[in-house]
Structure 1
Amino acid sequence: MAQEIPTEAKRFKQVREDLGKTQSEFADLLNAGSTTADIERGKKKITGKIVTELLRQFNVNPLWLYGNSYNKYLETSTSTAPKIITMDTNDRENMVMVPIKASAGYASNVLDTDWYNELPAFHIPLPQYREGSYRAFQVQGDSMLPVLQPHEWVMGKAVESVRTANDNRIHVVVTADSVLVKKLRKSESPEAVNLISLNREYPVIEQAVGEIKELWEVNSKLSFDLDVHEGEEAMISLKQGLDSLREEIKSIKKGS
Structure 2
Amino acid sequence: MAENQDNNFSERLKEIRTHFKLTQGALAEKTGIKQSLISAIENNKRNISPGILMAMNKAFNINMDWLNSGKGEMLESTNAKQLTGFSNVEEDDTTNKFIDLDDGQKLMITPLVEEYAYAGYLSGYRDPEFIEELPKHSIIVNKYHKGNYQSFRAVGDSMTTTDKDLMKDNIYDGNIVTGREVRKEHWNYKLHTHKFSDYVVVHKDGILIKRIILHDTEQGILTLHSLNENKDLYPNIEVNLKDVYQIFNIVDVHQKR
TM norm structure 1: 0.50
Structure number with larger C-alpha Rg: 1
Q: Which has the higher helix share?
A: 1
Larger relative contact order (C-alpha < 8 A, sep ≥ 6)? 1
- TM-score after normalising by structure 2: 0.49
